[in-house]
Structure 1
């Protein structure tokens, strides 16, 4: 069946709130030699999409200006250098942008097969969070079995993956969340203790346990000095976002005296090779855990592609638990 020349998509009409997302028609993207063309079934909704919509997270050079960093669907075209995938393969993929559309291109090595036990809507929840969690918790953060791990925002898409992966690695897992319902969800996923940050002080609780060996944080702001206090000696803090801002006063003498490490990363600007290496790690180490049922998908809600603004409003309300997807 021949491919169309145009496709439905959702674009950012101007920087602003969810209402600036609007439906449009765009030319069909064409894969280059190392890319595949995917007919999108579902697209994941992520915080970086909202940052881009607000004008604070520009796409990398050469990437689509459409939002959307992860999709699931069917391969309908392959570049001349691609041997891993064939037309009709079902995949989920990390994209540099363009996921809010009927078709998207991505590097062939940034796609993974859909786990046999998952549906396409569930598969669309995997790439962005698993690439982020693996690269920051395991590769950068060095988490190992027996260590104490704290993840903030435990009921978010990132948090639900981090809890399950850390538990599968044999770590003692702690998480923060903002309600009793969210805390219960974190504990059901494998957190030994979920801390309602509106009622309890995570610093006191972690210090009573001897401190966290690794903290994964996306809050920033006044959490930065509190995270330092909550770390065990030789502990590591990995920063992946700044919901409360990136600037704060911090006493760096503590880092020296207690041999602490503060690091962080963003995923989107990394090289194609770096992302391909993360994908291979996921293929080798995480996909088997998913297929064995040891790591599941936590889905909050599903919206039609044309309802992307409502999906963004849901995400920014912070009422969700797990992932939000768009059905394309």
Structure 2
């Protein structure tokens, strides 16, 4: 995992925050709860910070200018590659579109994130009307006052996880995952948003992680209680068997692994037609005619910005009076679904649901 520092570059993608109407999964954020008819109170928490793990940024020309039909966008028919995470994998090794890794780009929190992009030639920029994000996951950071359990400090929604033959993982698209940091990572990762904001690490007097000194475990969640699964053949959950080696291990005993019982999030409908290794590309329209030229930094370049909202993206049913999320330690907060799908579709259950953010490029 690469954690780039924010830096100035000739051509930048910049990020800002603002409300939009619909999530990538097609949900209206106003309808996240399910009411009190199920016998439980609706509870919501907004993450304090959010990032995306960006693998590639693509641009597509309009159909009139030779671009693909709307809804048929792929990696191969992209008109322009604005960003691709630099990979050092050997030729022929392919675990999907995010094989080589992803850049952690902070979208909301301490400061906006930036990445260097290849500029679309100025003479052609008016020909483009869509961009595509190839994102490994969206990642939420929750404040310890809202979520006291450190194992839930960072929650990922997997969109393009590593996939392919001979890969030791049971994580698939649509899984909800939490980051469990090894002891070699900065201690502040366990209870702050410093994993998104490298300057916070330095402010706390810690060293930035270099090379392989900081690694993580990816924890899958049991939809029936909010506990974490113990190891399976391809699911290396050492944080349940050797918790002392991790900064933020689970707070309660694990549950025997069952793929059908993994906590899931609602994915866009188009995902159902994709194989595990076919990339899901988040497509959004842009209006290059209104693009703000960044003449000081890059004549002929353009600043691309988008608005993001993560309001109430964590919803759960609870009998507790407080609005503190603690499923491992507080029985009142524990879900009771029989499967990941049951949790998403059966409102009679004691649900626990993480939603995708809402995004609008401008």
With the length of structure 2 as denominator, give the TM-score of the two structures.
0.25
Determine which structure has the larger helix proportion and give its number: 1
Could you tell me the TM-score, scaled by structure 1's length? 0.27
